[in-house]
Amino acid sequence: MLEIAPKPADLSLSPARGVEWLTSNAPAPYEEAVAQMEARVDAIIEGRACEAVWLLEHPPLYTAGTSARSSDLLNANGLPVYESGRGGQYTYHGPGQRVAYVMLDLKRRNPDLRAFVQQLEDWLIATLADFGVAGEKRCDRVGVWVKRGDGFDDKIAAIGIRLRKWVSFHGVALNVDPDLSHYDGIIPCGVQGHGITSLRALGVSAGMRDVDESLRRNFGKIFDSD
């Protein structure tokens, strides 16, 4: 896998079928990452590049999706806040969280947004199962949840996507071992009464490389099963 994602000037790639996997080993500045992601999406639309999944982490920050309410930003505590074009509300990104920017051409796969979100959830659930964690969907809450045992759930993975001419971008964020205290500055995804967890908080000692291998292995099972 590549160590960093290509910059916009490097995107005249062969439009061969298949998904290119990109990995950044150092935290990627948010605005630069979004610019690279959007350039790749344009290249996919124009037939200059194949589909891609970019695995990365960000420095500590908050992002506000297109449905974000200002009242859900409780205390930024000095962390930067970025407006994001993805769907959803406020979320946190930071080291120890695996972000996967998913750039797929749904026109040739299945142009159904709801089905795509369900596939993303299934992908995360299958990945969590590799580590003995039972991730679950909720019909009224996007993302992947873990039962807490007191009638409430803890969120372990978030989903926020956008489509441009049926090519997806943004994607998912799976908590491996982030600083969970940073979630105190927001109402994550506008959902109250439930918590936030991570693999580490659940007693799973898997590293980022282990999670990446699982994500890649399960991706084919979910998205290439047809």
| DSSP letter for each residue of 23-60 | E-SSPPPHHHHHHHHHHHHHHHHTTSS-EEEEEE---S
Q: List the chain pLDDT tens, one digit each, 226 residues.
A: 233 344 433 333 444 568 999 999 899 999 999 999 999 999 999 999 999 999 999 999 999 888 888 898 999 889 999 999 888 889 999 999 999 999 999 999 999 999 999 999 999 999 999 999 999 999 888 889 999 877 789 999 999 999 999 999 999 999 999 999 999 998 877 677 788 999 999 999 999 999 999 999 999 999 986 5
Q: Are 221 and 124 contacting, i.e. CB atoms less than 8 angstroms apart?
A: no
Residue 194, CB-side half-sphere exposure with 13 Å CA sphere:
21
Q: How many CB atoms lie within 10 A of CB 168?
A: 23
> Nearest 5 degrees, angle CA 34-CA 92-CA 2?
45
- Pairing type for strands 51-56 and 19-23 reads parallel
| Residue in the structure block whose two tokens are 């962390």 | 79
| pLDDT (0 to 100) of residue 150 | 78
Report the 10 Å Cβ neighbour count for 206.
Answer: 17
Helix (H) or strand (E) segment spanning residue 223? helix 208-223
Cα–Cα distance for residue pair 175/180, rounded to 1 Å: 9
The CATH class of the 8-223 domain is alpha beta
Q: How far apart are the first and last CA of the chain?
A: 25
Q: Is 189 a residue of the active site? A: yes
Catalytic residue selected from 189, 191, 208, 215: 189
- Both structure tokens of 4: 């960093």
Q: Please tell me the pTM assigned to this model.
A: 0.89
Q: Residue 153 corresponds to which tokens in the numbers above?
A: 């759930």
- The residue whose two tokens read 């890649």 is 216
Which residues does 211 contact at the CB level (< 8 Å), separation at least 6?
Answer: 98, 127, 174, 176, 199
Residue 159 has what DSSP assignment?
E
Of the candidates 89, 2, 90, 85, the one whose C-alpha atom is nearest the C-alpha of residue 41 is 85
